[in-house]
Amino acid sequence: MTTTRQSTDAPEEAALAAAAERGQDIVVCDACPVLCRIRPGRSGACDRYANRDGALVRMDPLVVLARAHEAVPFLGAAEAWPAHAEKFLTGIGAGTTYPDYKPAPFIVGSTIDGIDMVTVVTEGIFSYCGLKLKIDTDRWLGPECAPVRAGGEQVGHVTTAEYGSQMLSIGGVRHLTGGSKHEGQVTCATMLALAGREAVELAIDGGEQLTVQAGKPPVIGGVAEARMRVGCGSATIGIFARQWLGHADEVIVIDDHITGVLSEHQAGRFLGMKPAGIRVRGRRSTPGRYFQVANPGTRWGGTDIEDPLEIIDRIEPKTAWPGLRLLMVSTTGEHAAWFVLDEALAPRPAPMPEAIGRVVSRIAENCEPALTSVLFMAGAGGSLRAGVTENPVALTRSVQKGQTRVTAGGAKVQLWPGGGITYMVDVLAMPLDSFGYVPTPALVAPIEFTLPRDAYAGLGGHVERIRPLESLRDEPRLELRARPTAPP
């Protein structure tokens, strides 16, 4: 059986012709190093390419994003090409630049604000990639650097906490290719699911089990998180000190990182509050700010304590007084307790006054909804750049100077400084089904480079491959979508 391909590159045709001469009714896919030999009617290992009537075809739609000046329905077909809409070709479904000598699958020219522009699109095969997970919670997930596992295999690690969020690093080349074959497969599947906005169950050594999904509240130990903290204990005091004045004699805001004590805090002193004589455990940092009052955990303020009175070290009889009103509260307002000192200066639970309850509710009101954010991070190098220009370093320098705009599925990316083209993008800003994989293993992600046409020529770009953007209306796989709205 004679096999053909859509590509006209002579070396590829020669390889397929050789297979045909051997009497094989297969198509050899060279879109990645796996080189799948695909029988008629079947797809390759990645399900992205198939043998259709002896031709290697890309299975997924080629996605073009459109921003209409007025609302119009997009039908997902070439006939729905609205002339009045701004259109942008993405790398989703475009195909890859692999092997190295091959120009990018689509290099299109268009006019933007009167300037002739070129957009080069491809699907990058990224072994050097990973995900950064920002999990909005003050609850402790596990020790820093602890392994993060999926299906028993390590797929990442815990990294340092940021303000109101716990951070995880998932994937990376060492997990994809530096461990066992099974570790690489599980890592790739985990990354693909998270990047595709699916829910994934993770377990942290010495810590919690959690379910995470982009744009959804994290589920920690079987409990869905509702809100992230308004700030650390010290910041919470700074925000609400004036609202407590006159209603409480002391407020202790419990926090795993910085616990605040109102009367000692600069805010309390500024307001003229007298010392209350209630000393908390931990290491005093500056007035009214304490570190390490308890171990990290999933209870009060991200600590392991269930009874807030546990953090009180002593009550000084020369300073405290019977009837002293004490509020103990967490940084989310989820936990709060009201005490009044008795004649022996022992804190006794009492009904919380309405004025205090309002401020506790306001703490909760000022806490943003807890979400899981998934950011894809990758280094764009190697043959990917060769698909744009014959001189790859020229593209790198153009990106670094800001002359070339980099996007991922049409979404704005954050470029890291320094050498190379290392970028990060929120998966929620990208269209659905933006990611794929190859079983090397590696993730496949869209990337686009847009720059003025004369600058592209100056880079040594593949100018002879430029085609008009409007010619895409004849592509049989065309799918026109409205640009995604901004992520939450």
> How do residues 96-109 score in pLDDT, each as one tens digit?
888 777 899 999 99
Answer yes or no: is 284 within a domain.
yes
Residue 441 belongs to some domain of the structure: yes
d(CA 358, CA 488): 28
pLDDT of residue 461: 94
Of the two residues 14 and 394, the one the predictor is more confident about is 394
Residue 111's pLDDT band, with cuts at 50, 70 and 90, is: confident
Q: Evaluate whether residue 73 is within a structural domain.
A: no
For residue 185, count other CB atoms closer than 10 A to its CB. 16
Token pair recorded at residue 327: 């509020």
Q: Is pLDDT at 94 greater than 70 in this prediction? A: yes
Q: What is the pLDDT of residue 194?
A: 98
Predicted confidence (pLDDT) at residue 285 exceeds the cutoff of 90: yes
What pLDDT digit, counting tens, does each position of 319-378 carry?
A: 999 999 999 999 999 999 999 999 999 999 999 999 999 999 999 999 999 999 999 999
Say whether both 242 and 345 belong to one domain. yes
Domain annotation covers residue 423: yes
pLDDT of residue 7: 38
pLDDT digits (tens, 9 = 90+) for 219-228: 999 999 999 9
Please report whether residue 439 resides in a domain: yes
The domain boundary residue, chosen from 365, 398, 433? 365
Residue 54 has pLDDT above 90, yes or no: no
Where is the domain boundary, 307, 330, 365?
365
| Residue 202 and residue 258 share a domain | no
Same domain, 459 and 417: yes
Average pLDDT over residues 47-64: 87
The verdict on 54 and 131 lying in the same domain is: no
pLDDT over 50 at 19, yes or no? no
Judge if 115 and 220 occupy the same domain.
yes
pLDDT at 24 over 60: no
Residues 258 and 355 in one domain: yes
311 and 392 co-located in one domain: no
Other beta carbons less than 10 A from residue 348's beta carbon: 11
Give me the pLDDT at residue 333, please. 95
DSSP bridge pairs for 111: 116
**Residue 322: partners with Cβ closer than 8 Å, 6 or more residues away:** 341, 342, 343, 345
Whether 31 maps to a domain, the answer reads yes
> Using an 8 Å Cβ cutoff, are 51 and 37 in contact?
no
Residue 349, domain member (yes or no) = yes
Q: Is cis: bond before 441, omega within 30 of 0?
A: yes
Regarding whether 389 and 322 lie in a shared domain, the answer is no
> What's the gap between Cα 382 and its chain centre?
24
Confirm if 259 and 280 have CB atoms less than 8 A apart. yes
CA distance 15 to 450: 33
- Tokens standing for 35? 């080189």
Quote the pLDDT of residue 393.
94
| Token pair recorded at residue 31 | 């879109």
pLDDT tens-digit readout, 395-445: 999 999 999 999 999 999 999 999 999 999 999 999 999 999 999 999 999
- Looking at the structure, tell me whether residues 249 and 157 fall in a common domain: no
- Do 240 and 330 reside in the same domain of the chain? yes
Q: Are 239 and 360 contained in the same domain?
A: yes
* Final residue before a domain boundary, out of 330, 365, 400: 365
* 286 shares its domain with 166: no
Q: Return the percentage of the chain with pLDDT > 90, whole number.
A: 74
469: closest CA among 7, 108, 87?
108
Cα separation, 366 vs 236, whole angstroms: 10
Q: What is the mean pLDDT of residues 451-459?
A: 95
Structural domain of 9: 4-58
| Cis? peptide before 11, omega within 30° of 0 | no
Number of domains in the chain: 3
75 assigned to some structural domain: no
